Amino acid sequence: MFEGRPERGAEVVLVGRSNVGKSTLMRELTGKQFSTGGKPGVTRSPNHYDWSSHDFVLTDLPGFGFMEGVEADHREAIKTNIVHYLEEHADSILVGVVVVDGKSVVDIIDRHSGPDEIPHVVELFYLFEDLGIPCVVAVNKMDKVDDRDDRLDEVCDRLGLYPPWKQWQDTVAPITAKRGSITPLTDAVRTHLHDAGRDDLFQFF
């Protein structure tokens, strides 16, 4: 199990496959540098960022999925630990952010969809729903996507959300974290924080 979580009553978590830009997004949100690398799987344990004067923590959970040089058993253990973490802290988590790569997410979902297989991204999206946690899908690296609206419609379709994507702006947020273009995400997160009666946390988003 993951250890070292600060004792905080409110939390926003980032989850997603390896190399989708979660650590870059954390840097944009906090102004603090986190370990990133060209090699997937750099983040093996959670990165917690908390503000000592506030009862709030922002958490970047480890990436999951294929990682070069990482044993399959270890990859599965990371995924299991992520699920346990979300279940254990569900009462404190105000928003779950699933970060995906806008260029590859549809192909990855399609590749892992089958009668006996649910893609991890889709599984996580519905896990948040089952746990009663509002979920925002941050579709990152949109600067590399040509057919923007079509791609976002496809993402909605794969998640069981009826397109067009623009009716789901509290759930689907196109961003480019590397360029600091994350306003659709912060707007969506603020919507859910407001619904939870936590406008005091707007200063962090």
Asked whether the beta carbons of 8 and 55 are under 8 A apart, the reply is yes
Asked whether the beta carbons of 148 and 154 are under 8 A apart, the reply is no
Q: Check: CATH 2.40.50.320 for 11-204? A: no
Query: Residue 63 has which token pair?
Result: 């990436």
Q: What is the pTM of this model?
A: 0.91
Query: Residue 182 has which token pair?
Result: 């994350």
pLDDT < 70 stretches in the chain = 1, 34-44, 65-72
Instruction: Find residue 60's DSSP bridge partners.
Output: 14, 47
- What pLDDT, on the 0 to 100 scale, is given for residue 38? 46
Buried b (16+ CB within 10 A) or exposed e, 31-63: eeebeeeeebbbbeebbbbbeeeebbbbbbbbb
Between CA 168 and CA 158 the distance in angstroms is: 13
> What residues does each domain of the chain span?
11-204
Q: What is the DSSP string of 141-167?
A: -GGG-SSHHHHHHHHHHHTTPPSPGGG
| Residue at token pair 């830009």 | 21
- What pLDDT, on the 0 to 100 scale, is given for residue 39? 47
